[in-house]
Amino acid sequence: MSFSNTPRPETLKSLADVKLTPFWLDDPNKPEPVSALTEKITADLVVVGAGFTGLWTALQAKQADPNRDVVLLEAGETAIGASGRNGGFVASSLTHSFNNGMNRWPKEMPRLVDLGHKNLDGIEATIKQFNIDCDFLRSGEINVATEEYQVDELRKEAEESAAVGEHIQFLDQVQIRARVNSPTYLAGIIDPSVAMVNPARFAWGLRSACLQLGVRLFETTQVSALEERRESILIKTQYGMVESKQVALATNAFPPLLKRLSFYMVPVYDYVLMTEPLSRPQREAIGWQGREGVGDGGNQFHYYRTTEDGRILWGGYDAIYYRNNGVAPQLENHPASFSRLAEHFFQTFPQLTGLRFTHAWGGVIDTCSRYTAFWGKAYGGKVAYAMGYTGLGVGASRFGAQVMLDLLDNKKTERTELQMVKSKPFPFPPEPFRSPIINFTRWSLDQADQNAGKRNLWLKTLDALGLGFDS
């Protein structure tokens, strides 16, 4: 079906009492922030950014060598960025979907699939080891077709994925609606190698594990500059500094400390709604007993899942770029996106008409032209970075952290020998060209969604160059 972008009056009523704050962060269990750095200290490893990538980097560094002096610096509070604002999908995929991986690294896919499965197992093991209370559930993820042309695409993905070790099952219309009841569903596939999690509690649990192992954490500590010394890097903050042998940059979509990285990454804003808890009749009307994550098959797609207390998180579709790589708190509130999302929600689940939304928020995603993480080193190998997850970093960030540590320690490993790790995405053009190109691409994708998936010449050209884009 083609979603209408014009909200009805009853749709707007569902947003009447919404709180403009991330649901996950609106939690009494949120830890109190620790103090800022106010002096000069030394360290073996400094990690910049206390989101998932930074937390995994600090934790795994200490696990590998308990004597390694690790300092973690966060500009705000732990998980305040993308790590506390996402849908909580923990995918085994390291390549932002099977199809994206096959299009880019077909020969490596069996290895990448295996590494991804092991990575998800490692995440679950860490949650159990440190007794992290984050509603981790290996529920799987369903991808649904809402247009006829998408049905064959899903069937093909299920067939091809088996050859590289995935266990994706095709579901016909009867089977998919038996799992989740929406009149818009025509078919689906289910990938069992995806888990759901409360992302903020997960991040806070990793934070606690880091502190338990002796990582020194400083929050409200904005890094302003890196300065190379003979055998070290000086990390300057607003009130203090750290001299460290090594630095790992995990700053996601925020302005990079290495200026050249701004050519490879653009920040795009994603918007999310959370409903009130469903009543028993409402839950029975939609089924969805397995609590699977769900995504639909458009270029501009929605992702959604249920929570432990019976709510529905509903996000995606819009992926908005603001000129000059704009990142600012005021961009987290976008009423047009919220009302559009709400309208699409009730088109998907008309049996839930009358349900209210309690929370609405936005978050910034670090996207790159290949939609999956990339890595590199700077300052003679003393600095490493990982970025570009494009919205699937909850799971892949653990792997990304491992690669960073391999690079910093100059280790030749199975991970570092991957072409995915050795290569870089195609850079984006600078402004003033960047904004109109991105926005024209988004318009083209919308037209494709309105025209049975048929891509115009511009999108076909991007596909041919390996730059195919979706939301």
Between the CA of residue 211 and those of 27, 28, 49, 290, 398, what are the distances in Å? 21, 20, 15, 35, 18
pLDDT at res. 471:
46
Query: pLDDT tens across 419-456, in order?
Result: 999 999 999 999 999 999 998 988 888 888 888 888 99
Query: pLDDT tens across 26-70, in order?
Result: 999 999 999 999 999 999 999 999 999 999 999 999 999 999 999
CA torsion angle for 427, 430, 436, 442 (degrees, to 10)?
30
Pairing of strands 141-145, 293-296: parallel
Mean pLDDT of the 370-377 span: 96
pLDDT at res. 298:
83
pLDDT at res. 246:
98
Which residue bears the tokens 């007794």?
A: 131
The answer to whether 319 touches 365, Cβ cutoff 8 Å, is yes
pLDDT at residue 220 is higher than 90: yes
DSSP 286: H
The answer to whether 146 touches 295, Cβ cutoff 8 Å, is no
Between the CA of residue 229 and those of 23, 69, 378, what are the distances in Å? 43, 19, 13
Give the rounded distance of the alpha carbon of 136 from its chain centre.
16
| CA quadruple 14, 17, 22, 24: dihedral sign | negative
pLDDT at residue 92 is higher than 60: yes
Query: pLDDT tens across 260-290, in order?
Result: 999 999 999 999 999 999 999 999 999 999 9
The answer to whether 377 touches 384, Cβ cutoff 8 Å, is yes
Nearest to 119 by CA among 404, 397, 385, 384: 397
DSSP 230: S
pLDDT at res. 268:
95
Give the rounded distance of the alpha carbon of 408 from its chain centre.
24
Q: What is the DSSP string of 104-118?
A: H-GGGHHHHHHHHHH
pLDDT band at 468 (very low <50, low <70, confident <90, very high): low
pLDDT at residue 1 is higher than 90: no
Q: Is 135 exposed, middle or buried (0-12, 13-18, 19+ CB in 10 A)?
A: middle
> Going from the N-terminus, what domains does the chain have, and what CATH number goes with each?
9-26+141-192+266-367 (3.30.9.10), 31-140+193-265+369-428 (3.50.50.60)
Q: Coil, strand, or helix at residue 205?
A: helix
What integer best gives the mean pLDDT of the chain? 95
Nearest to 369 by CA among 298, 301, 423, 450: 423
Nearest to 129 by CA among 185, 198, 208: 208
Pairing of strands 241-249, 383-387: parallel
pLDDT at residue 469 is higher than 70: no
The answer to whether 215 touches 158, Cβ cutoff 8 Å, is no
Contacts of 161 (CB under 8 A, 6+ apart): 98, 167, 168
Q: Mark residue 166 as left, alpha or beta (left: phi above 0; alpha: psi -120 to 50; beta: remaining).
A: beta
Which residue bears the tokens 């349900």?
A: 355
Mean pLDDT of the 373-387 span: 98
Q: pTM (2 decimals)?
A: 0.96
Mean pLDDT of the 70-75 span: 98
Question: Which amino acid is present at 415?
Answer: R
Query: pLDDT tens across 190-214, in order?
Result: 999 999 999 999 999 999 999 999 9
Mean pLDDT of the 4-32 span: 96
Please state the φ and ψ torsions of residue 440, each to the nearest 5 degrees. -65, -35
Q: Coil, strand, or helix at residue 245?
A: strand
pLDDT at res. 466:
78
Contacts of 469 (CB under 8 A, 6+ apart): 369, 441, 445, 459, 462
* Listed range (81-90, 143-152, 434-443) with the worst mean pLDDT: 434-443
DSSP 363: E
- Quick count: other Cβ atoms within 10 Å of Cβ 180? 21
pLDDT at res. 470:
52
pLDDT at residue 2 is higher than 80: no
Separation CA 101–CA 436 (nearest Å): 28
- With a pLDDT cut of 70, the percent of the chain lying above it is 99
Q: Coil, strand, or helix at residue 9?
A: helix
Mean pLDDT of the 79-108 span: 96
